[in-house]
Structure 1
Amino acid sequence: MKLKLAVAGAALLALSACATLPPEPLRGEYTKITPADAQSKDYTGATTVWGGVIAKTTPMQGQTCFEVVSTPLDSQLRPRELREESAGRFMACRAGFYDPAVFAMNREVTFVGRVNGYSDQKIGDYTYRYPKMDAQTIYLWGKRDRYATPPYGSPYGYYGSWGWGLGYGWPWW
């Protein structure tokens, strides 16, 4: 019996080691709404977490505002990569100066803050209703590593039933 409990405890410990948690500044309880939800219903005052890729950073007197193309967040609250569709756009503002060279276009960012109304602004000739957030936390994510994969298998070969062989894609194959 004790052995079974020890094995079960070890298995749970091993599984918990695989669990991913958000970075410390992003942890907490939030209202689960998206910027698209906030466009259709008034969530003013709700504390939430939104993220995406930066479309524009605008420093102003006393604060910096970010226009963000929203994407769904993963289990660490990191924005997922932008595909063909966005989950809407939002504006997030925070007191202080945030350098547009660092908070540049297409950088991934996550915000924690309160929904604070709406702002109608133009995207080209289209008037878009942005949900606005008073950001309490801004978390700028590091750039993702991009790896190229060979089109015809591994360049390092493979191990078949007759031993090591050459993978497809080698210049002499």
Structure 2
Amino acid sequence: MKRLSIAVILSSLSVGCASVPKPLGGEYLPSQPRAVVEAGRNGGPVRWGGSIIAVEPEAERTCIQVLARELGPDARPRLRDPDEGRFVACRAGFYDPEVFTEGREVTVTGIVAAMTTRVVGEYPYTMPEVAADVIYLWPPRVEYRYEPLPPTWALWFGPSWYGWHHHHLWHPRPIHRPRPRRSGRGN
């Protein structure tokens, strides 16, 4: 029993650690942007993520405004309604607005450097500014659509039942026989 519980704990730890991309690993404060603004504190290491709202290239750095979302166990933003606030992630260098487009998902690691106020509509909105070490752009999510198959009873009762009209499932396909040759001249 003791061996089994140790094996389960070790396997769950290895699965949890293996799923976070290497650049995003480490220990971070469990806070969210809204809580940091309310507390008014700076300087803590954070790992936040969400959807890109705007990209603002400047002369020496690029700032990315992000609508924060809760992170999953793989450090990717979850597909839930955002209620964590907004933050700005700034990093030296140029990040192309055509690559970092609106709506793409990012995860950012860094230190809360300051509080900044941006205008959203006509409302002055205070949000934390992160001096980013890593800005990790996630690949777009792929959605799969699954079509239901007809129930097995529909296969027995014919194509008109249950709205399925795949006649080839119930009727044999015609056999293609070679055409007889026409008799020509001299035959």
1:172 aligned residue: 165
1:79 aligned residue: 77
- Work out whether 1:125 is the aligned partner of 2:118: no
* Distance in 2 (alpha carbons) for counterparts of 1:149 and 1:143: 19
Instruction: Report SS of the residue matched to 1:101.
Output: coil
- Work out whether 1:63 is the aligned partner of 2:56: no
Using the TM superposition, give the Cα deviation of residue 120 of structure 1 relative to its aligned residue in structure 2, in angstroms. 1.0
Instruction: Report SS of the residue matched to 2:94.
Output: coil
Instruction: Report SS of the residue matched to 1:39.
Output: helix
* Distance in 2 (alpha carbons) for counterparts of 1:46 and 1:17: 27
* Distance in 1 (alpha carbons) for counterparts of 2:59 and 2:118: 19
Instruction: Report SS of the residue matched to 1:172.
Output: coil
* Distance in 2 (alpha carbons) for counterparts of 1:12 and 1:131: 36
Aligned length: 162
1:25 aligned residue: 23
TM-score (structure 1 length as normaliser): 0.80
Alignment-mate amino acid for residue 78 of structure 2: R
User: Kindly tell me: are residues 169 and 30 of structure 1, through their superposed partners in 2, closer, same or farther at Cα, counting changes over 3 Å?
Assistant: farther
1:36 aligned residue: 34
* Distance in 1 (alpha carbons) for counterparts of 2:78 and 2:50: 7
Instruction: Report SS of the residue matched to 1:78.
Output: coil
Which structure shows the bigger proportion of residues in strand conformation? 1
Task: Give ranges in structure 1 of 5+ residues lacking alignment.
Answer: none
User: Kindly tell me: are residues 34 and 12 of structure 1, through their superposed partners in 2, closer, same or farther at Cα, counting changes over 3 Å?
Assistant: closer
* Distance in 1 (alpha carbons) for counterparts of 2:32 and 2:6: 38
Task: Give ranges in structure 2 of 5+ residues lacking alignment.
Answer: 167-187
Using the TM superposition, give the Cα deviation of residue 130 of structure 1 relative to its aligned residue in structure 2, in angstroms. 1.2
Using the TM superposition, give the Cα deviation of residue 63 of structure 1 relative to its aligned residue in structure 2, in angstroms. 0.3
